[in-house]
Amino acid sequence: MLFQEYMELMKKRLMNNFDMTVPFEYAGYSIDLFAESHLRTERYFASKKVKVYGMENDEFCFMKHFDMITEDIVDAYIEMLIASIDDMVKLREDHMSTIITGIIVADSVDDKNIENVVKRFRHQKSYAFGLKGWVDVRLILVDLHGKIVVPSKKAVKVETFYRP
């Protein structure tokens, strides 16, 4: 599968729940596909005038294609994802969670060390011991030639969604 075919597939899968920006410039990276979703849920008592509580959940996806992939590239991409927390997370009164997903798309991945770096990756940040919410950073490596998806621990739940 070619990258353009994969990107069109991901656009179709994301289009119902995400706003997309193609391409997106961020922190020196030309992100091939940036998608964001903002959900708000409220519970009421008796009528909508009496709000019991509200929750806001945000999700951001950064998808980038690399012709050649090395451990240094993966490490730099992880640093960019972690640094994006400060820009993407907006702590509001009802903020509950934010998920930042980094998708690395490569034509082929031959190095097992890269897969191990992705599998071991885990990053979570909580605000006020979780009372003001938290952010999870997920990482997914997509091998287009082998049609393999390597998820980090937090991304295992969405592995099939990103399968080519």
**pLDDT tens by residue, 103-158:** 999 998 888 899 999 999 999 999 999 899 999 999 999 999 888 999 999 999 99
| Structure confidence at residue 23 (pLDDT) | 87
Burial class (CB within 10 angstroms; exposed 0-12, middle 13-18, buried 19+) of 7: middle
- Distance (Å, whole) CA 48 – CA 134: 27
